[in-house]
C-alpha cells in the first residue's frame, strides 16, 4: 500500500482547496491511500514559544505522519499571488527543529495542486512553493500539473467535484504521483 498524506492550506469551511483534497482522496488509484490531515491546530510560529515549550503536539503529530508516509500532497490556495500565510506558517513549524528536517522532508516525494475562483488556478502560488521545497530538500514531482481555475464552477454546493474533465485530470495526476512515490520507496 502506498500511503500519502494530504494537507489543504485553507481553514475555510467551504474551501475549494479542501474540497479538492477530499476529491483526491476519493480518486486514489488502487493500492494507494491518501490520509487527510489538517493545519487547523497549528499555532503561529513563535521562536520564544519554541524555546520555552518545544514543538507543539499537533506539529509533532503531523511531522510523524509525514515522516511515515511515502509522499506528501499539498493543496494550496493563492493569496496575493503567493503562498497563504497560514499554510507557510504550518510548513515553517513542521521544519522545526532544523535537525529534524532530514527525517520529515529530505527526499520525500511531494506534489502540489491548487484551486482558485480566478482564471489562473494558483499558478503563482504553486511557483512560490518551489524555493521552499528546495530548502527542505524534498523531491518535488513536477511531471504533473493541476491548476483548478474558476473553482466556483467545478464544485457543487456541498463541495463535491462535479467537473468531469478536472476529475479525469486529478485522477491522472494522482496515478502519476503515486507511481513516483511508490518507485521512490527505499524498500522498492
What single DSSP character describes residue 150? S
Is residue 2 near ligand FMN by the rule CB under 6 A?
no
161 is an interface residue for ligand FMN by CB under 6 A: no
Q: Give yes or no for residue 126 binding ligand FMN (CB under 6 A).
A: no
Stretch near ligand FMN under the rule CB under 6 A, chosen from 12-20, 89-97, 100-108, 131-139 = 12-20
Pairing type for strands 109-115 and 146-148 reads: parallel
**How many other C-beta atoms are found inside a 10 Å radius of the C-beta of residue 72?**
24
d(CA 161, CA 18): 11
Q: Does 6 bind ligand FMN (CB under 6 A)?
A: no
- Nearer residue to ligand FMN within complex by CB, 2 or 149: 149
Least separation in angstroms between CB 21 and ligand FMN: 9
Whole-angstrom Cα distance, residue 163 to residue 188?
35
Q: Which of 2, 15, 95, 126 binds ligand FMN (CB under 6 A)?
A: 15
Which residue number, 79 or 129, has a Cβ lying nearer to ligand FMN?
79
Distance in Å, CB of 124 to ligand FMN, minimum: 7
Residues 101, 35, 41, 167: is their CA dihedral positive or negative? Answer: positive
Collapsed DSSP state (helix, strand, coil) of residue 1: coil
Residues 46, 30: Cα–Cα separation, whole Å: 41
Binding stretches for ligand FMN (CB under 6 A): 10, 12, 15-17, 77-81, 116-118, 120
Amino acid at each position: 500500500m502506498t500511503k500519502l498524506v494530504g494537507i489543504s492550506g485553507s481553514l475555510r469551511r467551504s474551501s475549494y482547496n479542501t474540497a479538492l483534497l477530499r476529491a483526491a482522496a476519493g480518486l486514489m488509484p488502487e493500492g494507494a491511500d491518501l490520509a487527510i490531515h489538517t493545519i487547523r491546530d497549528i499555532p503561529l510560529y513563535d521562536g520564544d514559544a519554541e524555546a520555552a515549550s518545544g514543538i507543539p503536539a499537533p506539529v509533532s503529530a503531523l511531522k510523524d505522519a509525514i515522516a511515515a508516509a511515502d509522499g506528501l500532497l499539498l493543496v494550496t490556495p493563492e493569496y496575493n499571488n503567493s503562498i497563504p500565510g497560514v499554510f507557510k506558517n504550518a510548513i515553517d513549524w513542521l521544519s522545526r527543529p532544523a535537525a529534524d528536517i532530514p527525517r520529515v522532508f529530505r527526499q520525500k516525494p511531494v506534489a502540489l495542486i491548487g484551486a482558485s475562483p480566478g482564471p489562473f488556478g494558483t499558478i503563482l502560488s504553486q511557483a512560490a512553493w518551489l524555493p521552499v521545497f528546495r530548502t527542505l530538500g524534498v523531491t518535488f514531482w513536477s511531471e504533473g500539473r493541476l491548476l483548478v481555475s474558476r473553482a466556483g464552477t467545478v464544485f457543487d454546493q456541498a463541495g463535491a467535484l462535479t467537473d468531469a474533465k478536472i476529475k479525469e485530470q486529478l485522477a491522472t495526476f494522482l496515478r502519476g504521483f503515486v507511481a513516483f512515490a511508490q518507485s521512490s520507496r527505499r524498500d522498492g
